[in-house]
Chains A and B, each alone.
Chain A
Amino acid sequence: MGILSGIARYLRLLGGLAVYTLNRELAFRGNFLVKVSVEVIWLAILIAFYRVVFARTSTVAGWDEPQYLFFVGCFFALNGLIEMLFLENCNEFAELVRTGDLDGLLLKPIDEQFLITCRRIDWGTAPNVLMGSAVMGIALANAGWQPDLLRIATFLVTFVCGTAIAYGFMLMLTSISVWMVRNQSLMEMWWLFSSLARYPKEIFSGPWAEPLGAFFTYCVPILVVVNVPANAMVRVLDGPMVALTIAATVLLLWASRRFFHYALRSYRSASS
């Protein structure tokens, strides 16, 4: 099978899975509406909070209000995309291991990583991507931003890289479930991850915080996930940071895939 036809097949499958999960979500409309409402309220609270902050100061860690609003929108869209595509699937992985229901997925003639991490689309978080995009659009309009093709291209590439980095970390945390069987720590770890990613890296200043910021930029590159695309679009187009983000993406996707397959070798398949 050629690479292009392979990609086309997986895109078709992703489309099929998206339709089936939408049918499933809509079979439980009440649950769907509650999830969407919670996310709308959460974004409203977040924006209200930052408006209060910027009513008292003109910049936070060097970011002015439209720039910061763009950062918040970028985080919201990226986080929403990850939650929509991967979080529920990864969170269910431990349960699949515990019950042995993973068997059914491993038997299918398709990439295991794709099927396990993409089989369900969480449509309840899909509006977050739209809301985040809308907030970014509003922020750009407020800043009087002029279209710049290089910035747009860099933003898109690094936004995809940020999503892939987050996915890579999530896949590694998920893989541990094969040994732990119960892995409730995944959600806690994801909360920690998103808590770190949601702030500009400039807040890590001072003798204690700076090494921590460097650690989460160069060793465990969580801080680049939102900072680099947001910076590229509304602040500094930092070539080395963009290169670091792309390199980290390639490395992390490769390492997380290897680790996932290594973990699957230890799968014991719960007794029937």
Chain B
Amino acid sequence: MSIIEVDGLTKTYQVAQKKEGVLGALRGLYRREYREVHAVERIHFRIEPGEMVAFLGPNGAGKTTTLKMLSGLIYPTAGQARVLGYVPWERADVFRRQFALVMGQKNQLWWDLPAADSFQLLREIYAIPPAEFKSTLDELTGLLGVEKLTRQAVRELSLGERMKMELIAALLHRPRLLLLDEPTIGLDVVAQGMIQKCLRDYHARRGVTTLLTSHYMRDVEALCDRVIVINHGHLVYDGPLSRIVERFSETKLIRLQFEAEAPDDLGRFGEVVRRDGPFAEVKVGRSQVAAVLAAVLDRHSVADVSVEEPPLEEVIARVFEEARASHDAA
């Protein structure tokens, strides 16, 4: 059975339109105009047990709205969803005991108290047996290296430390499903890496199904094999991470190191991205890579060569652009 089943899920908001100036505000008192915002439109997907899936899209694409419907925070306008076998917006206790939602921009810990106090309260709320609570807490504080910080008031922790505590709070009850909304937002590279490592290790140990939204492609590359892309509320891609690059990128990047100065005729093979002393980078069509390499090696003395896929950020940006163009055309 799928962990998440989404069929035609739709969410439309009525957003009040405020008029400018005092007269506009007064007019708004008796007649208010509304605009319909289609946050999510008839999306379908399935997520199987143990998968780690990235849910990507530009700002306002409908990612967070979808996560909020899947966690039962908001009701859909239309469509169906079953999460862990339950209708999420019925918010059955037995359902809520089996998943966790971590939002990078919101915190659930008590600001003025040490994180350890919030953990104890969560133990009561989730009715976690004391022995299980202790072993999970030890495991998670060890994974994240925060054993000595749990007795410090949350407001005195750094953003990275706070995020680690939020993650611990979310995993204490050993959820079967983890919904992560921008878990590394605002964190430095080291803290991001630590959160990624913790999530990877935890997934390897417990096989928790994970749905992640993030604007950091490092998170996606480090954690997910499958990607779902949403834009303007519509699903535009659902498939393996490796295939999104093939499908949406027409070029590859050839990195060259010549024996002497890089030649100035490289433009004939493709787009020269960089030429600096003996180093050069040329973007060429995927189907032309072999021919270009043969021609370059035939004409010039090459010390080193590598062929790379373009950066994921670039590919995803292209996916978003294409989706935006087709949406505007429609």
Contacts and interface: CB of A to CB of B under 8 A. Distances in A.
B74 interface: yes
Contacts of A108: 96, 125-126
Interface string B101-131: 1011111101011000100110011110000
B82 interface: no
Contact of A272 (B75, B91, B127, B182): B182
A269 B74 contact: yes
A272 B64 contact: yes
A12 interface: yes
Contacts of A104: 106-108
Interface size band for B: 35 or more
Contact of B113 (A24, A110, A112, A271): A24
A186 B86 CA distance: 36
B71 interface: yes
B162 to A, nearest CB: 14
A103 B103 contact: yes
A11 to B, nearest CB: 11
B74 A268 contact: yes
Interface residues of A, number: 26
Contacts, number: 70
B93 A110 contact: yes
Contacts of A109: 93-97, 125-126
A23 interface: yes
A13 B101 contact: no
B325 to A, nearest CB: 25
Nearest to A266: B75
Contacts of B75: 265
Given A100-B106, A272-B103, A16 B74 contact: no
10 contacts: A27-B153, A103-B103, A103-B106, A104-B107, A104-B108, A107-B101, A108-B125, A109-B93, A109-B97, A267-B74
Interface of A: 9, 12-13, 16-17, 20, 23-24, 27-28, 100-101, 103-104, 106-110, 112, 265, 267-269, 271-272
